[in-house]
């Protein structure tokens, strides 16, 4: 059994949306999936209640019972646990990080989310956990410097999962109906994104290897220019102006 946790202290980055959609995509790909909703708001418990036919169970588990719950799930033959964490640094978020084999840190392509990612990454690293970044809510069809800079900044901090996830109505509709996007509209682009994302996560879990690089298709969809893409793939911490404020934040943290 493997456990992935969607964590970032920044609210609204897409933890619950992506946790639910990837859980459903993984289920369709043959995993036995269980979602643990560690957020006291229990959004995914409510999401699950909207769909009586779901074969992806969801439960809110108090932090004190998490280890026991995980052991019980493993015994039952669950192969993948997806944890949705709250957007803060509470005991719930910490418990989620501690329980995870892999922490997935989603961020939208804006500087506030990127700064939030930096803080979360430091926290995850302090717990000695593997982590990857994920860029969510990218504008679907236009060239966009924000996306390009966001991807570069995240790659300068660590691995960035492919594909970039676009902002699409399907994600919001699926949430409303208690579905994953792969159930709502299996032939849609969002569904394809989630299938690809699950494949990337699975590879990372299996090998602990660097996440897949951004593929031309995915990058084009997200509006990243081919030239810039090359730069992202080779991005080193020199990734420049846009990474600077975060580097400063890291330095401050280290000094603290
Ligand atoms: N890829 C996406 N496309 C469109 N809307 C999205 C996407 N990801 C998240 N959202 C929307 O953004 C909002 C915040 O997402 P949510 O998953 O609740 O974030 P978090 O759990 O990190 O606070 C929700 O209204 C959700 O529907
Ligand atoms: Mg949430």
Ligand 1 centre to CA of 17 (Å) is 5
Q: Cα–Cα distance between 177 and 123 in angstroms, integer? A: 34
> Rounded CA gap, 163 and 192, in Å?
10
* Closest ligand 1 atom, residue 84 Cα: 21
Ligand 1 proximity of 11 Cβ (cutoff 6 Å): yes
More confident call, 104 vs 253: 104
In the DSSP assignment, the letter for residue 179 is -
We report the CATH number of the domain holding residue 98 as 3.40.50.300
- Express each pLDDT in 190-211 by its tens digit: 999 999 999 999 999 987 645 4
CA nearest ligand 1 atom 26, residue = 172
Please tell me if the CB atom of residue 136 comes closer than 6 angstroms to any atom of ligand 1: yes
What is the distance between the alpha carbons of residues 231 and 171, in angstroms, rounded to a whole number?
Answer: 30
pLDDT digits (tens, 9 = 90+) for 4-29: 999 999 999 999 999 999 999 999 99
Instruction: Give Cβ neighbours of residue 176 (< 8 Å, ≥ 6 apart).
Output: 50
Ligand 1 touching residue 12 (CB < 6 A): yes
CA of 62 to the centre of ligand 1 (A): 24
Could you read off the pLDDT of 43-67 as tens digits, one per residue?
Answer: 999 999 999 888 999 999 999 999 9
Task: Let me know: does 224 contact 151? Beta carbons within 8 Å.
Answer: yes
Give the mean model confidence (pLDDT) for residues 146-172. Answer: 93
- Tell whether ligand 1 has an atom less than 6 A from the beta carbon of residue 41: no
Report the C-alpha gap between 145 and 225 in whole angstroms: 9
3-state secondary structure labels for all residues of 1-21: CEEEEECCCCCCCCHHHHHHH
Domain ranges, residue 57 = 2-255
Q: Is 168 in the pocket of ligand 1 (CB under 6 A)?
A: yes
The reply to whether ligand 1 has any atom less than 6 angstroms from the CB of 13 is yes
Region 164-180 average pLDDT? 97
The pLDDT confidence band at residue 143, using thresholds 50, 70 and 90, is: low
Instruction: Identify the DSSP state of 136.
Output: -
| Partners of residue 60 on adjacent β-strands | 37
Range of weakest confidence among 19-33, 100-114, 135-149: 135-149
Question: ω before 163 within 30° of 0 (cis)?
Answer: yes
Q: How confident is the model at residue 158 (pLDDT cuts 50, 70, 90)?
A: confident
With a threshold of 0.75, does the pTM exceed it? Answer: yes
Question: Burial, 160: exposed, middle or buried (Cβ in 10 Å; 0-12, 13-18, 19+)?
Answer: buried
What's the total number of domains in the chain?
A: 1
In the chain, how many H helices and how many E strands?
12, 6
């Amino acid at each position: 059994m493997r456990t992935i946790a969607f964590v970032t202290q920044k609210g609204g980055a897409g933890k619950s949306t992506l946790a639910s959609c990837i859980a459903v995509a993984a289920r369709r790909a043959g995993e036995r999936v269980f979602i643990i909703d560690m957020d006291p708001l229990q959004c995914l418990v409510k999401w699950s209640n909207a769909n009586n036919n779901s074969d992806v169970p969801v439960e809110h588990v108090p932090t004190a019972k998490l280890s026991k719950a995980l052991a019980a799930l493993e015994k039952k033959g669950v192969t993948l646990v997806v944890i949705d964490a709250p957007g803060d640094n509470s005991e719930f978020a910490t418990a989620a990080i501690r329980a995870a084999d892999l922490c997935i840190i989603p961020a939208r392509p804006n500087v506030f989310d990127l700064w939030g990612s930096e803080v979360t990454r430091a926290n995850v690293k302090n717990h000695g956990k593997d982590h990857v970044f994920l860029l969510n809510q990218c504008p679907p069809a236009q060239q966009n410097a924000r996306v390009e800079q966001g991807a570069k900044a995240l790659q300068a901090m660590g691995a960035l999962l492919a594909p970039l996830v676009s902002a699409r109505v399907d994600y919001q509709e699926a949430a409303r109906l208690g579905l994953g996007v792969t159930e709502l509209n299996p032939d849609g682009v969002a569904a394809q994104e989630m299938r690809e994302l699950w494949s990337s996560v699975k590879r990372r879990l299996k090998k602990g290897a660097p996440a897949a690089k951004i593929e031309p298709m995915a990058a084009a969809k997200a509006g990243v220019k081919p030239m810039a893409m090359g730069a992202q793939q080779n991005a080193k911490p020199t990734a420049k102006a846009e990474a600077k404020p975060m580097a400063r934040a890291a330095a401050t943290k280290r000094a603290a």
